Amino acid sequence: MWGFKTSVRQAMLAALLFAAHSGAADPHVEFNSVSGEIYLTKMSDALALSVLSDPDTVQLRLLDSASARSMVLTVHESADGLKILPRFPLREGEIYVLLVQTDSGVQIEHTITIAAEEAPIPRLVSFSPGQRYIPANALRFYVTFSEPMAKGQMQRHIRLELSDGSQVVSPFLNLQTELWDRDQRRLTLLLDPGRIKQGVGPNVAGGAPLQEGRDYRLVVDADMQSAQGTPLGASMSASFSVSAPERRPIDPQKWTIVSPPAGSLEPFFVSFDRIMDEGAVRRLLSISAPSGEVIQGTIETDGAMWAITPERSWQRGAHTLVVQHDLEDVSGNTVRAPFDANAGTIGATDTAPLEITAVIQ
Amino acid sequence: MITDKSLLLASVATLALASAALADGAQMQSAGALAFDNGNVLFVGDAKEGVVHAFDFGESGFDDQAEYQLGRAQTFEGRTIFNGLDQEIAALLGVAAEDIGINDMVVHKPSKQIILSVHRGLGPDAEPVLIKINNGAVELVDLDTAAHTSIGVGPVPTEATLEFGQPLNSLAITDIDYYNGEIFVAGISNEEFSSKLRRMAYPFDDTVSTSSIEIWHAVHAQYETRAPIISQTITELNGEPTLVAVYACTPIVRIPLADLQDGAEVRGTMIGEMGFGNTPIDIVPYVNGWDQTSNFIVTNTNRSAVTLPVDAVATAEPMPHGDGVQPFFAVGGVTQYTMPLSGTLHLDTIDETWAVVVRRSPEDPRNIQLHTLPMPFFFDRADHVVEMNWEDGPDPFGYKAAPPVSYN
């Protein structure tokens, strides 16, 4: 461990110094884990004054810090000594060194160990699309973990393999930023659009990352860590097979709608003709009552179907299924255009939501 | 056993700490893309909250860095302001270097002060901070000294979505640019593959114009695709304010600002292709001090940086598209010159002579450096195996005659 020798040397030096100051008591250091404050007591008035007049005499850093720089802190007078207030909370599982060093040498050196609560081991809890077969031009995967995860690990710890264990090279778009949800449980993996778009260099040279008729698995390796620094411990994977690419725009006329009976609390059910983007469909599909009021309820979807169980029983009459034009399937096709559109056709369509009437009787 | 007294004391201490924390920068939930207006207003992209913050620091908000020597341009010698920049910032924040993220960098041009957006921690509770480089030292930016406003740009949780927990969709803000009283915000959604550019006036008036931009991809002989903008800059081309944008895979596109109206479906003009297998990072304008030409530099993940003359961007013909066009896989279109930069993570210009980069050291990629580079070539002699650097090598420009640079 860093600085062991240095620490011993400095401790001895400190002991000598204190011995030279006859009558000086050993300063006492106490960390209050609730307030995050550090109290220095039983120190000589001279030392306390010296520290107060020059707070740079106080250094607080990680035991194994590569830098000699102290973390940001302020020093305050307290009832029986000094109070040190770190600008940021000390982190669990770390060992800090508090050093008070005046012109005459090291006056205090004290380690503060911050206990870590045992953090749960993260697990991969879902992979979307969750279907057995995924179209060869799929654009987006979602992986969801049981715990909030640490950013910055995607390139190192997530890979796509063929069922024989050979790795698919660079399947994902190399972005500087990772696309997590706010809780950092769900990560969006964008397959490199350059390899999916037909006729593009990467597509022609490297082929699409997913080949029709083959079996794949997405692997999250054992070292992928939660936000609390706990690794998965064992690699986890999700397997799927690849079917023909889906290159048609979304056409809601091809959906199958099962309307519930009026007066019931049964779900209103839509079965798609393809796999929709699960995130987008949850957000961009809704149903309105004959009054125009949006139906509130619990939505269930696996991308292949969408169902809403209402909070209040269904009214009789013409309801409207509202499809926002940004709705995408897993291959990035929208209501307005396929992912690969013929030149000059994108942007021609109206951007108003599509409305489909469903009569509830 | 906890006595009433100690419990009371502990509570008071916690309250004091909480209020202290609130007073300092609590406006931000995350800190990503950075931009300045032409003065002292710093814009910070906050993807987690789905807003752009504006911090107005006023005239005295930045420390003048004129005395800090940035290197010696005459002999093509940049200055390493920090080796282990991540370690220095981590020490200031009291965490290990692997527990911080350096998200963006911008230079306050009037003072030449370098500002970095940093996360303390890698989890969803990471604390966002702004770091400034003050005459060679890393320091925290005190946000309490700034007047704060913000405007929503990302998905906003509604009561209905909150009922089932936080919504999962978010917008990663990839770039913010200021131009003539407005900011332009580009981002990538985690649930939607599109290019929506948000435009809003500053000071904020709560009005956000959103345009969807479609581009022709020259590399697709037959097809075109919507795609997200990664980085952009705004400049006058032939007297017309124009957005110049670089995309994920990797067209260069020209869009007149006048086209970016709320709800508009805009078709950008693709004027160049930077070659596949690469993602651009930043596009930054600069003036070549040697010939006074205006240029853009584009940094890349998997390729060297390139520069594009502004004149060439202004006059470039749209790349051919439509029936009969063959697929196009290489670098093409508008004139591009390769620049000797690689391993660049963030880049900005400091003044007419100097640029600054956060980069992986050419000698040790584990070493994150804050390093200056003399313009217009962004070339540091020490980074390269150059005959002139050898002790018994030729010295046609007299570099060796120059005494070693000693820094203040």
Dump the DSSP string for B206-273: S--EEEEEEE--TT-SSEEB---EEEEEEEEETTEEEEEEEETT-EEEEEEGGG--TT-EEEEEEEEE
- Count CA atoms within 13 Å of residue A102 on its CB side: 15
- The amino acid at residue A325 is H
CA B8 – CA B16 distance, rounded (Å): 12
CA B327 – CA A205 distance, rounded (Å): 12
Residues whose CB falls within 8 Å of the CB of residue A145, separated by 6 or more in sequence, listed in order: A122, A123, A124, A125, A185, A186, A187, A226
Would you say residue A2 has pLDDT above 80? no
Percent of chain A with pLDDT over 90: 71
Which residues numbered 156-195 in A keep a CB inside 8 Å of some CB on B? Answer: 170, 173-177, 179-184, 186, 188, 190, 192-194
- Cα of B388 to nearest chain A Cα, Å: 34
A69 touches chain B (CB under 8 A): yes
Q: CA nearest A73: which of A18, A127, A112? A: A112
Q: What is the pLDDT of residue B320?
A: 63
* Residue A78: strand, helix, or coil: strand
What is the C-alpha end-to-end distance of chain A, expressed in Å?
Answer: 74
Mean pLDDT of chain B: 83
CA A259 – CA A254 distance, rounded (Å): 16
A86 touches chain B (CB under 8 A): yes
- Where do the domains of chain B lie? 30-59+69-389
Choice among A292-306, B200-214, B249-263, B390-404 with the minimum mean pLDDT: B390-404
Contact A69 B92 (CB under 8 A): yes
pLDDT mean over B44-56: 94
A198 touches chain B (CB under 8 A): yes
The shortest CB-CB distance from A91 to any of B16, B95, B302 is to B95
Contact A66 B276 (CB under 8 A): no
A347 touches chain B (CB under 8 A): yes
CA B16 – CA A4 distance, rounded (Å): 35
Domains with residue ranges and CATH for chain A: 4-113 (2.60.40), 124-243 (2.60.40.1220), 252-360 (2.60.40.1220)
- Cα of A72 to nearest chain B Cα, Å: 6
* Residue A50: strand, helix, or coil: helix
What pLDDT band is residue A21 in, cutting at 50, 70 and 90? very low
Contact A174 B160 (CB under 8 A): no
What pLDDT digit, counting tens, does each position of B201-210 carry?
999 998 888 8
Q: What is the pLDDT of residue B165?
A: 57
- Cα of A89 to nearest chain B Cα, Å: 8
A312 touches chain B (CB under 8 A): no
Q: What is the pLDDT of residue B223?
A: 57
Contact B302 A174 (CB under 8 A): yes
Q: Which residue is listed with tokens 């350096």?
A: B102
- Cα of A19 to nearest chain B Cα, Å: 32
HEC readout, B364-401 = CCCCEEEEEEECCCCCCHHHCCCHHHCCCCCCCCCCCC
A4 touches chain B (CB under 8 A): no
B214 contacts on A by Cβ (under 8 Å): 346-347
The β-bridge relationship of strands B306-309 and B332-333 is unpaired
What is the C-alpha end-to-end distance of chain B, expressed in Å?
Answer: 58
Peptide bond before residue B157 is cis, with ω within 30 degrees of 0: no
A226 contacts on B by Cβ (under 8 Å): 123
The shortest CB-CB distance from B226 to any of A66, A174, A346 is to A346
ipTM of the complex: 0.85
What pLDDT band is residue B43 in, cutting at 50, 70 and 90? very high
- The amino acid at residue B196 is K
Q: Which two tokens stand for residue B97?
A: 């270097």
Mean pLDDT of chain A: 87
What pLDDT band is residue B401 in, cutting at 50, 70 and 90? confident
A196 contacts on B by Cβ (under 8 Å): none
What pLDDT digit, counting tens, does each position of B92-135 carry?
999 999 999 999 999 999 999 999 999 999 999 999 999 999 99
A297 touches chain B (CB under 8 A): no
Residues whose CB falls within 8 Å of the CB of residue A8, separated by 6 or more in sequence, listed in order: none
Q: What is the pLDDT of residue B326?
A: 52
Dump the DSSP string for B26-95: TT-S----EEE-SSSEEEEEETTTTEEEEEE--TTSS---TTS--EEGGGTEE-EEESSHHHHHHHHHTS
Q: Which two tokens stand for residue A26?
A: 């050993």
pLDDT mean over B249-274: 82
A66 contacts on B by Cβ (under 8 Å): 84, 87, 91, 97
- Cα of A207 to nearest chain B Cα, Å: 13
Nearest CA in chain B to A179: B190
The stretches of B114-241 forming alpha helices (DSSP H) are 159-162
Beta bridge partners of B271: none
B119 contacts on A by Cβ (under 8 Å): 151
Q: Which position has the higher pLDDT, B11 or A244?
A: A244
* Residue B15: strand, helix, or coil: helix
Peptide bond before residue B203 is cis, with ω within 30 degrees of 0: yes
Q: CA nearest A188: which of A139, A245, A230, A240? A: A139
- Cα of B138 to nearest chain A Cα, Å: 9
H or E stretch at B297:
strand B294-300
CA angle B389, B395, B401 (to 5 degrees): 90
pLDDT mean over B250-256: 85
pLDDT mean over B61-85: 93
Look up the pTM and report it: 0.87
Other beta carbons within 10 angstroms of residue B133's beta carbon come to 24
Nearest CA in chain A to B99: A150
Contact B94 A283 (CB under 8 A): no
In order of A106, B160, B214, the CA distances from B97 in angstroms are 26, 40, 40
* Residue A12: strand, helix, or coil: helix
Would you say residue A16 has pLDDT above 60? no
What pLDDT band is residue A202 in, cutting at 50, 70 and 90? low
A328 contacts on B by Cβ (under 8 Å): 191-193
Nearest CA in chain A to B172: A179
The shortest CB-CB distance from A62 to any of B94, B170, B223 is to B94
Looking at mean pLDDT, say which of A22-26, B365-369, B399-403 comes out highest: B365-369
Instruction: Please give the DSSP secondary-structure letter assigned to residue A235.
Output: -
A343 contacts on B by Cβ (under 8 Å): 216, 222-224, 321-323
* CATH class name, domain B30-59+69-389: mainly beta
pLDDT mean over A33-42: 94
Percent of chain B with pLDDT over 70: 82
The β-bridge relationship of strands B182-189 and B240-247 is unpaired
Contact B188 A341 (CB under 8 A): no
Contact A175 B48 (CB under 8 A): no
What pLDDT digit, counting tens, does each position of B155-173 carry?
765 555 444 556 788 888 9
